Amino acid sequence: MKKTSHIKSLPPPLNRRQALNRLTISGVASFGFLSYTQKISAAILQPNDETVPDPTETNTDAHRWRPNLHFTASKGFMNDPCGLIFDGKFYHLYYQFNPKSPQAGEPSWGHAISEDLYHWKDCPIAIAADKTGMIFTGSAVIDEKNSSGLFKDSPQKNLVVFYTKATEKSQSQWLAWSSDGGLHYQNYAKNPVVDAGHNSFRDPKVFWHEPSKKWIMTVVEASKKRVSLYGSYDLISWMHLSNFGPSGLFGTEWECPNLVELEIENETNPDGSPKTCWVFFVSINPGAPLGGSSTQYFLGQFDGERFTRKSAGVGVVDFAKDNYALQFYNHFPNHEKVYLGWFGNWQYCEELPTKEWNGAMTLPRKATLRRNADKFLSLIQKPLGLEALREAKIDIQFPESQKNTWLLSALKRRQLKPYENFHATLPNETAVEFLMDVVVEERGVRNPDGASGRAGRVIIELTNALAEKLSLGFDAASCQFWVDRSELRGFHHPFFTGSFSVALPKDSQQFSLRLILDGCTLEVYINDGEDVGTFLLYPYHPLTTLTIGATNATLTLDKLELYRLKRTMNRPHFSSP
């Protein structure tokens, strides 16, 4: 959540995060006689022309890489997800938004709603900037019992948001509230509700902690690389409880803290309830291991006042570098822990080739914990609800020797012999999902076999007629998986890293893979979410062919599936010639 601006009229003494912007509370002016659902519908049908630009664009080339599933703003610059909450009917997505430019600056809170986290509808800007200060990242809760005393009527859908109000000299936490389902907000008259007295204090994430019967706020002291924890019984008066950090990866600044209790897969308490562990997610920027921005996590215990680490280890959310500032939903159904992240990296996010629009959200990801091969707990991430968007399978062309031959046909297995390949034609202008479970033949010798490289490498390539190539694969000798985007030619930047890798379990000769390719986005899930990579991709021309093969090794495939995915985002779309 590096808050930046390129407003040329700003005086030189102000850095990009200190730019003053407009704040006006905007939304639907008067729908007091309508039901909650009618109010939401009216806001969608009658957007404010100034703050919610018409998504119709004249420059179709600007939408060359526009995703079909991943949320993108209609135009302008979008970054951190904010105020993620489910109100019983709608999932709300607020987000950092500059509608006037494809670069960061003048951050407002954009707003969209969905009933399934995929089909999104734009609402008017919820909180827009003004001369009193910038509007940074924050969170939302439902004050069901009116503990704040701000709501006179029904306690249903009493939305309260917390955000950072920033000026050149200060960053403090402000409260605003809505009684119409989050369409527009009124600032609390006695803001700020939390103020540490300096200008490196931001990103409040608030949640209800049932065991201690109070609200908890986590907020970073960014330059000190620590998180402050506060508690409240009424959402207005806050007491400092403790600090966490510095610890783990320092970076230059800490941002966007999220403290959540995650279930541990396949482990239960004596009463049959699932075992859990508290996880503290903290984003860093710049200074991530791969450069720029990234998110780390810590495992531990939380007693309502203090977070205590279980071990000295620290994990990273992503083995690539394009997932930042994640935020978990509050009030998610069935107490599942689901997050959205910003598809970007502050090293190059303001120079991307999409021009008129900039920024995307990840797919909704459910998070749990699982014990890995070494019996340590690690983060598990899986896309939520994607199966419902699958259309008919895409045909995969098998080698001639395998067209009519099944290996263990009752188990639906395929075998790919050395020097053979599977091929598939990728549909144009459509998101696709690819799934593969593969076992690599055991070999006693791993020496290179000619120009193809070391034996036992599984190679997956997505290519086009311009010889552009996206390469992914598994090296069985070292048990590592790689992704290489360096041979795509639509975007070049000194910090746009080309190749990435991640180590899989030692001595493993098999893995499962799930890819979602959608416009400029690629999400890679390995071994049922044990390792996840999030990538921005900019081929000059759409990738049209999928090829799967191996270097002098036989592959046994338990699963090999390719699907078209339904388009869910109503956005301008590029049609290739």
Q: Which of 87, 255, 350, 461 is catalytic?
A: 255
The answer to whether 255 is a known catalytic residue is yes
Identify whether the C-beta of residue 542 lies closer than 8 Å to the C-beta of residue 428: yes
Residue pair 506/553 in contact (Cβ under 8 Å)? The answer is no
Coil/strand/helix, residue 16:
helix
Strand partners, 439: 510, 556
Sheet architecture: strand order including 108-114: 23-24, 120-129, 108-114, 91-98, 76-86, 357-358
Q: Which of 141, 112, 133 is nearest to 201 (CA)?
A: 133
At residue 127, the 3 state secondary structure works out as strand
Q: Which string of b and e fits 207-234 if b means at least 16 CB within 10 Å?
A: bbbeeeebbbbbbbbbebbbbbbbbbee
Residue 558 a catalytic site member: no
Residue 491 tokens, joined: 């975007």
Residue type, 152: K
Give the β-pairing of 91-98 and 76-86.
Answer: antiparallel
What's the rounded Cα separation, in Å, for the pair 225 and 570? 40
Catalytic pick from 57, 80, 221, 531?
Answer: 80
**537/488 Cα distance (integer angstroms):** 8
Closest Cα partner for 539 from 431, 430, 465?
A: 465
Catalytic (active-site) positions:
80, 255
